């Protein structure tokens, strides 16, 4: 039995009013997991491309997800897998890296063992794995697995609804040269929110999904406010206000923290993406923060064998 | 100068996850306001079709809205108007009656006096008038004035976004034989909501507007949950649980309290509306509550001179 390589794209989650329920897969960056059969039952991590990635299968999201697939398929006592993990996504950046490794691990295990699990089973396996390292949520794993943009309206069972993103719209990412731990970014979230903020968030998210489907730039622009997370999280991200202002001035329709940050994601018309990318980096520079940009499109395919 | 008659349709607001931000105008029921020039400056109410409607211009929403139009147009010292109000919508029912009278009053005043106010000015005038009797909100007045379904994402200034409703979808209303005051229904609302409920509400509203635009019955069905208002309001509405269950069993895609109730609004495929209407009435009957149904479509025109 040969090796199977699975590529899983990076994802932006949260995205303004889509806090904790909207995710989008993007092109150009992702993690690759290579899996092959091993003699011993269980999952081992044979190699990782970055020293900081744990090879302990109980702390590695690719291995955890592969193990969850084995278990769900009833194969944990008989089948053995060896994984090689190649990180294309930066760590603790807010670009869905742990979800991508988990999704790639789950899909690679499924492909090597030819299990009968469904894509939703694979999503559940990836979510279980990601929960060990960064909380139980599917707004990265779901778009990573299925591609495109999705609304995740529930976890038990996973309820994933695709949102079309009009071809006129693209994405720009900018990652400043510091890290923010997901756990730290979640600690500042309020347990309760004022009713008016909850209503405002719902209304803005409705505008955002309509704007994405219709390709209505003005609507996307009016929608891109987060009433829940970003007001509390902003202090965690030095340079964010300056970068955001510069990005909007360069034509971005909206700039938001991607996932738990510190990467920012900008929604922009395709033709303005390069100018927006330059402006975002400049904005950080004005705040004394080094940053690098990534110009992307929506990845409509999702995780795939390569 | 002759008389102008304006018809303004009834509206459902709230509608499951659209609490406080989604409204839909419907066909078949509405209020009519007839306006004509009077010698004395100011607004007088010459006649009302129901004894319970106040003729005091400071307590009548049609007159309050007409007066707000005069004031915004800078005509309050010179122009006089006489109004006749014909209520087609039931009082304190949750079918947007006070908003319809206000919108009709504003538009009738505008038409008689040929002011230069915009439609947004007229909306602001209607919202001001409605605020006097039932709280400051635009999720009834906006769909009533513009027609169709709308998301109201802000009041200052009014931010109104149309949502298309697919032609396969219709509406059913059922009004039980008791009244609920808007003020009472708002008193039970929580000042704050758990963060997970706010996220859930936003995700469901996103699904609802996508479902309405796409005509995706399954999506509308999965979307029709309100995490904020209905769990607290349900005890105010005897027979609601029975009617809701019966309506869903008869094919309704969702059943929710319309506005502050007690009327319920069901979203349904057009061909199932009559069965849903009968089931809703039956459900109330099982709870010992008399009720009458109204089968409707979306009113895509909004308030108009008739």
ipTM: 0.94
pLDDT at B45: 96
Q: Closest to B199 (Cβ–Cβ): which among A19, A208, A213?
A: A19
Q: Which residue of A has its CA nearest to B14?
A: A199
**Cβ neighbours of residue A277 closer than 8 Å, sequence gap 6 or more:** A172, A174, A293, A294, A295
pLDDT per residue over B235-281, tens digit each?
A: 899 999 999 999 999 999 999 999 999 999 999 999 999 999 999 99
Q: Give A-chain residues touching B155 at CB under 8 angstroms.
A: none
Instruction: Compute the average pLDDT of residues A53-78.
Output: 95
Q: Give A-chain residues touching B22 at CB under 8 angstroms.
A: 203, 206
**Which of A149, A195, A200, A203 is most worth mutating to test chain B (most B CB atoms within 10 A of its CB)?**
A203
**Which of B139, B158, B198, B226 is most worth mutating to test chain A (most A CB atoms within 10 A of its CB)?**
B198
pLDDT category, A234, cuts 50, 70, 90? confident
Return left, alpha or beta for B99; rule: phi > 0 is left, psi -120 to 50 is alpha, else beta: alpha
pLDDT at A182: 77
Would an 8 Å CB–CB cutoff place A209 in contact with chain B?
yes
The pLDDT of residue B16 is above 70: yes
User: How far does A204 lie from chain B, in Å, by closest CA?
Assistant: 7
The pLDDT of residue A146 is above 70: yes
pLDDT per residue over A69-93, tens digit each?
A: 999 999 989 999 999 999 999 998 9
CA B21, B22, B27 angle in degrees (round to 5)? 145
pLDDT at A1: 52
The pLDDT of residue A140 is above 80: yes
pLDDT category, A225, cuts 50, 70, 90? confident
The pLDDT of residue A136 is above 90: no
User: How far does A220 lie from chain B, in Å, by closest CA?
Assistant: 12
User: How far does A45 lie from chain B, in Å, by closest CA?
Assistant: 35
Q: Closest to A159 (Cβ–Cβ): which among B213, B222, B228?
A: B222
Query: Quick check: A192 and B189 CB within 8 A?
Result: no
Query: Quick check: A199 and B163 CB within 8 A?
Result: no
pLDDT category, A227, cuts 50, 70, 90? confident
Would an 8 Å CB–CB cutoff place B209 in contact with chain A?
yes
Q: Which of A48-57, B61-70, B228-237 is least confident?
A: B228-237
Would an 8 Å CB–CB cutoff place A152 in contact with chain B?
yes
**Cβ neighbours of residue A114 closer than 8 Å, sequence gap 6 or more:** none
The pLDDT of residue A226 is above 90: no
pLDDT per residue over A109-130, tens digit each?
A: 999 999 999 999 999 999 999 9
pLDDT at A185: 84
Predicted TM-score (pTM) of the model is 0.95
pLDDT at A181: 78
Query: Quick check: B163 and A21 CB within 8 A?
Result: no
Would an 8 Å CB–CB cutoff place A161 in contact with chain B?
yes
Q: Closest to B198 (Cβ–Cβ): which among A22, A152, A228?
A: A228
**Cβ neighbours of residue A248 closer than 8 Å, sequence gap 6 or more:** A254, A255
The pLDDT of residue A288 is above 90: yes
pLDDT at A134: 78
In this prediction, what percent of chain B has a pLDDT beyond 70? Answer: 100
Q: What is the DSSP string of chain A?
A: ---EEEEEEEEEEB-GGGTTTEEEEEEEEEEEEEEEEESSSEEEEEEESSTTS--STTT-HHHHHHHHHHHHTT-TTT-EEEEEEE--SPTTSSSSHHHHHHHHHHHHHHHHHT----HHHHHHHHHHHHHHHH-S--TTHHHHHH-SEEEEEEETTEEEEEE---TTEEEEEEEESS---HHHHHHTS-SEEEHHHHHHHHHHHHHHHHHHHHT-HHHHHHH---SSSHHHHGGGSTTHHHHHHHHHHTT-SEEEEBTTSSSEEEEEEGGGHHHHHHHHHHHHHHTT--EEEEEE-B-SS-SEE-
pLDDT category, B4, cuts 50, 70, 90? very high
All domains in chain B, ordered by first residue:
4-163+301-305 (3.30.230.10), 169-296 (3.30.70.890)
Q: Which residue of A has its CA nearest to B198?
A: A198
Tokens of B25: 């105008």
Query: Quick check: A209 and B204 CB within 8 A?
Result: no
Instruction: Compute the average pLDDT of residues A17-44.
Output: 96
φ, ψ of residue A127 in degrees (nearest 5) = -65, -40
pLDDT per residue over A167-211, tens digit each?
A: 999 999 999 999 887 778 888 999 999 999 999 999 999 999 999
Q: Which residue has the higher pLDDT, B155 or B107?
A: B107
Query: Quick check: B17 and A205 CB within 8 A?
Result: no
φ, ψ of residue B193 in degrees (nearest 5) = -125, 150
């Amino acid at each position: 039995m040969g090796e199977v390589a699975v590529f899983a794209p990076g994802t932006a989650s949260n995205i303004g009013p889509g806090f904790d329920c909207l995710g989008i897969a993007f092109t150009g960056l992702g993690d690759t997991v290579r899996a092959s059969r091993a003699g011993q039952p269980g999952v081992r991590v044979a190699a990782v491309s970055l020293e900081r990635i744990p090879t302990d299968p109980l702390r590695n999201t690719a291995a955890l997800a592969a193990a969850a697939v084995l278990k769900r398929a009833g194969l944990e006592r008989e089948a053995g897998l060896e994984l090689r993990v190649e990180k294309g996504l930066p760590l603790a950046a807010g670009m869905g890296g742990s979800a991508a490794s988990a999704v790639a691990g789950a899909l690679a295990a499924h492909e090597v063992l030819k299990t009968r699990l469904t894509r939703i089973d694979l999503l559940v396996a990836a979510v279980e794995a990601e929960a060990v390292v960064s909380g139980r949520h599917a707004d990265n794993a779901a778009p990573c697995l299925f591609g495109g943009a999705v609304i995740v309206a529930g976890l038990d069972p996973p309820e994933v609804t695709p949102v079309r993103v009009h071809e006129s719209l693209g994405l720009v990412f900018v990652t400043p040269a510091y890290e923010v731990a997901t756990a730290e970014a979640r600690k500042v979230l309020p347990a309760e929110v004022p009713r008016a903020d909850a209503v405002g968030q719902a209304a803005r998210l409705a505008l955002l999904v309509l704007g994405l489907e219709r390709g209505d730039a003005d609507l996307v622009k009016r929608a891109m406010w987060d009433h829940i997370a970003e007001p509390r999280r902003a202090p965690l991200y030095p340079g964010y206000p300056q970068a955001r202002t510069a990005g909007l001035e360069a034509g971005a329709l909206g700039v938001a923290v991607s996932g738990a940050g510190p990467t920012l994601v900008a929604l922009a018309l395709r033709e303005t993406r390069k100018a927006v990318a330059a402006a975002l980096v400049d904005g950080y520079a004005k705040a004394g923060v080094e940053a690098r940009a990534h110009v992307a499109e929506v990845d409509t395919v999702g995780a795939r064998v390569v």
